[in-house]
Amino acid sequence: MTLKLGVIGIGAIGKDHIKRIHHKLSRASIVAVSDVNREQTDAFLSQECISAMYFENGIDLIQSKDVDAILVTSWGPTHEEFVLAAVEAGKFVFCEKPLAVTAEGCRQIVDAEIKAGKRLVQVGFMRRFDRGYRQLRNVISEQEMGLPLILNCAHRAPAAPGFFGDMAISDSLVHEFDVLRWLLQDDYVSAQVIQPRGTRLCDEGLQDPHVILLRTRDGILINIESFVNCQYGYDIQCNIICESGTVSLPEPSSLQRRHNARLSTEIIVDWQERFVDAFDVELQEWIDATLAGEMNGPSAWDGYVVAVTADVCLKAKHSGAIEAIDIPEKPTFYQ
Amino acid sequence: MTLKLGVIGIGAIGKDHIKRIHHKLSRASIVAVSDVNREQTDAFLSQECISAMYFENGIDLIQSKDVDAILVTSWGPTHEEFVLAAVEAGKFVFCEKPLAVTAEGCRQIVDAEIKAGKRLVQVGFMRRFDRGYRQLRNVISEQEMGLPLILNCAHRAPAAPGFFGDMAISDSLVHEFDVLRWLLQDDYVSAQVIQPRGTRLCDEGLQDPHVILLRTRDGILINIESFVNCQYGYDIQCNIICESGTVSLPEPSSLQRRHNARLSTEIIVDWQERFVDAFDVELQEWIDATLAGEMNGPSAWDGYVVAVTADVCLKAKHSGAIEAIDIPEKPTFYQ
Amino acid sequence: MTLKLGVIGIGAIGKDHIKRIHHKLSRASIVAVSDVNREQTDAFLSQECISAMYFENGIDLIQSKDVDAILVTSWGPTHEEFVLAAVEAGKFVFCEKPLAVTAEGCRQIVDAEIKAGKRLVQVGFMRRFDRGYRQLRNVISEQEMGLPLILNCAHRAPAAPGFFGDMAISDSLVHEFDVLRWLLQDDYVSAQVIQPRGTRLCDEGLQDPHVILLRTRDGILINIESFVNCQYGYDIQCNIICESGTVSLPEPSSLQRRHNARLSTEIIVDWQERFVDAFDVELQEWIDATLAGEMNGPSAWDGYVVAVTADVCLKAKHSGAIEAIDIPEKPTFYQ
Amino acid sequence: MTLKLGVIGIGAIGKDHIKRIHHKLSRASIVAVSDVNREQTDAFLSQECISAMYFENGIDLIQSKDVDAILVTSWGPTHEEFVLAAVEAGKFVFCEKPLAVTAEGCRQIVDAEIKAGKRLVQVGFMRRFDRGYRQLRNVISEQEMGLPLILNCAHRAPAAPGFFGDMAISDSLVHEFDVLRWLLQDDYVSAQVIQPRGTRLCDEGLQDPHVILLRTRDGILINIESFVNCQYGYDIQCNIICESGTVSLPEPSSLQRRHNARLSTEIIVDWQERFVDAFDVELQEWIDATLAGEMNGPSAWDGYVVAVTADVCLKAKHSGAIEAIDIPEKPTFYQ
- Average pLDDT in the C300-314 region? 97
Integer CA distances (angstroms), B19 to B262, B290, D269, in order = 39, 19, 52
Is C69 in contact with C293 (CB distance < 8 Å)? no
What distance in Å separates residue C234's CA from the closest CA in chain B? 8
Domain with CATH 3.40.50.720 in chain B: 3-123
Confidence band for D55, pLDDT divided at 50, 70 and 90: very high
Which of B145, B255, B256 is nearest residue A259 as measured by Cβ atoms?
A: B145
Could you tell me which residues come within 8 angstroms of residue B22 by beta carbon, excluding any fewer than 6 positions away? A26, B29, B30, B48, B50
In Å, how far from its chain's centre is CA D111? Answer: 21
In Å, how far from its chain's centre is CA A240? Answer: 21
* Gap between the Cα atoms of C96 and C98, Å rounded: 6
**pLDDT over 90 at C40, yes or no:** yes
- Average pLDDT in the B211-230 region? 98
Integer CA distances (angstroms), D22 to D49, D273, D276, in order = 9, 19, 15
* Gap between the Cα atoms of D66 and D48, Å rounded: 21
Domain with CATH 3.30.360.10 in chain A: 128-270+321-334
Please judge whether D263 and A259 are an interchain contact, meaning their C-beta atoms are less than 8 angstroms apart: no
State the CATH architecture for A128-270+321-334: 2-Layer Sandwich (3.30)
Q: Does the CA dihedral A314-A319-A320-A325 come out positive or negative?
A: negative
Please judge whether C257 and D265 are an interchain contact, meaning their C-beta atoms are less than 8 angstroms apart: no
The rounded mean pLDDT for chain D is 96
Is B231 in contact with B208 (CB distance < 8 Å)? no
* Gap between the Cα atoms of C284 and C190, Å rounded: 35
Tell which residue, B286, B303, B301, has the closest CA to residue B5.
Answer: B286
Chains with ≥3 Cβ pairs under 8 A against A?
B, C, D
Q: Find which of D140, D145, D149 to mutate to test the B interface (most B CBs within 10 Å of its CB).
A: D149
Confidence band for D26, pLDDT divided at 50, 70 and 90: confident
Pairing of strands D28-34, D53-55: parallel
Integer CA distances (angstroms), B267 to B158, B312, B333, D217, in order = 11, 32, 42, 32
Could you tell me which residues come within 8 angstroms of residue D255 by beta carbon, excluding any fewer than 6 positions away? C132, C135, C136, C139, C247, C248, C249, C250, D265, D266
| Total beta-carbon pairs less than 8 A apart between chain A and chain D | 48
Give residue B264's pLDDT: 98
In Å, how far from its chain's centre is CA B52? Answer: 27
Tell which residue, B186, B144, B170, has the closest CA to residue B318.
Answer: B170
The burial class, CB within 10 Å (0-12 / 13-18 / 19+), for D273 is exposed
**pLDDT over 90 at C279, yes or no:** yes
Predicted confidence (pLDDT) per residue in C62-109, tens digit: 999 999 999 999 999 999 999 999 999 999 999 999 999 999 999 999
Give residue D247's pLDDT: 98
Predicted confidence (pLDDT) per residue in D68-92, tens digit: 999 999 999 999 999 999 999 999 9
- Average pLDDT in the D245-255 region? 97
Q: Is the peptide bond before A298 cis (omega within 30 degrees of 0)?
A: no
Please judge whether A231 and C245 are an interchain contact, meaning their C-beta atoms are less than 8 angstroms apart: yes
Residues A3-123: name the CATH superfamily. Answer: NAD(P)-binding Rossmann-like Domain (3.40.50.720)
* Gap between the Cα atoms of D19 and D25, Å rounded: 9
- Quick one: closest CA in B to A139, which residue? B255
Predicted confidence (pLDDT) per residue in A212-229, tens digit: 999 999 999 999 999 999
Give residue B171's pLDDT: 84
Looking at residue B169, the DSSP 8-state letter turns out to be: I
Give residue A264's pLDDT: 98
What distance in Å separates residue D150's CA from the closest CA in chain A? 23
Give residue C161's pLDDT: 85
- Average pLDDT in the D194-223 region? 96
Strand runs (DSSP E) across chain A, as ranges? 3-8, 28-34, 53-55, 69-72, 92-95, 121-123, 148-156, 188-194, 210-216, 221-227, 235-242, 245-248, 256-259, 262-266, 323-324
Is B309 in contact with B222 (CB distance < 8 Å)? no
Please judge whether C256 and D251 are an interchain contact, meaning their C-beta atoms are less than 8 angstroms apart: yes
Residue C63 touches chain A, beta carbons under 8 Å: no
Integer CA distances (angstroms), B317 to A54, A183, B168, B194, D332, in order = 66, 53, 11, 7, 39
- Average pLDDT in the C321-328 region? 96
Domain with CATH 3.30.360.10 in chain D: 128-271+306-334
Residue A231 touches chain C, beta carbons under 8 Å: yes
Please judge whether B257 and A250 are an interchain contact, meaning their C-beta atoms are less than 8 angstroms apart: no
- pLDDT tens per residue across all 335 residues of chain A: 789 999 999 999 999 999 999 988 888 999 999 999 999 999 999 999 999 999 999 999 999 999 999 999 999 999 999 999 999 999 999 999 999 999 999 999 999 999 999 999 999 999 999 999 999 999 999 999 999 999 999 999 999 888 888 888 888 899 999 999 999 999 999 999 999 999 999 998 899 999 999 999 999 999 999 999 999 999 999 999 999 999 999 999 999 999 999 999 999 999 889 999 999 999 999 999 999 999 999 999 999 999 999 999 999 999 999 999 999 999 999 98
Give residue D167's pLDDT: 86
**pLDDT over 80 at C173, yes or no:** yes
Give residue D165's pLDDT: 82
The interface pTM score, or ipTM, of the predicted complex is 0.95
Give residue B165's pLDDT: 82
**pLDDT over 80 at B1, yes or no:** no
Torsion of CA C154, C156, C162, C167, to 10 degrees: 0
Predicted confidence (pLDDT) per residue in D124-144, tens digit: 999 999 999 999 999 999 999
In Å, how far from its chain's centre is CA B160? Answer: 18
Give residue B167's pLDDT: 86
* Gap between the Cα atoms of A146 and B7, Å rounded: 48
Confidence band for B163, pLDDT divided at 50, 70 and 90: confident
What CATH number labels B128-270+313-334? 3.30.360.10
- Average pLDDT in the B222-238 region? 98
Domain with CATH 3.30.360.10 in chain C: 128-271+315-334
CB atoms within 10 A of CB B335: 6
Tell which residue, C196, C210, C208, C213, has the closest CA to residue C151.
Answer: C213
Tell which residue, B141, B191, B210, has the closest CA to residue B306.
Answer: B191
Which of C146, C197, C245 is nearest residue A220 as measured by Cβ atoms?
A: C197
Residue C321 touches chain A, beta carbons under 8 Å: no
Helix count (H) and strand count (E) of chain B? 11, 15
Rounded to a whole number, what is the largest CA-CA distance in chain A?
64
Give residue A221's pLDDT: 98
- Quick one: closest CA in B to A262, which residue? B245
What distance in Å separates residue C6's CA from the closest CA in chain B? 38
Residues D128-271+306-334: name the CATH superfamily. Answer: Dihydrodipicolinate Reductase; domain 2 (3.30.360.10)
Residue B247 touches chain A, beta carbons under 8 Å: yes
Residue A267 touches chain D, beta carbons under 8 Å: yes
**pLDDT over 90 at B205, yes or no:** no
Give residue A172's pLDDT: 84
* Gap between the Cα atoms of C186 and D213, Å rounded: 56
Please name the fold of domain C128-271+315-334: Dihydrodipicolinate Reductase; domain 2 (3.30.360)
Tell which residue, D99, D120, D110, D69, has the closest CA to residue D295.
Answer: D120
Find the DSSP H helices in C89-130. Answer: 103-116
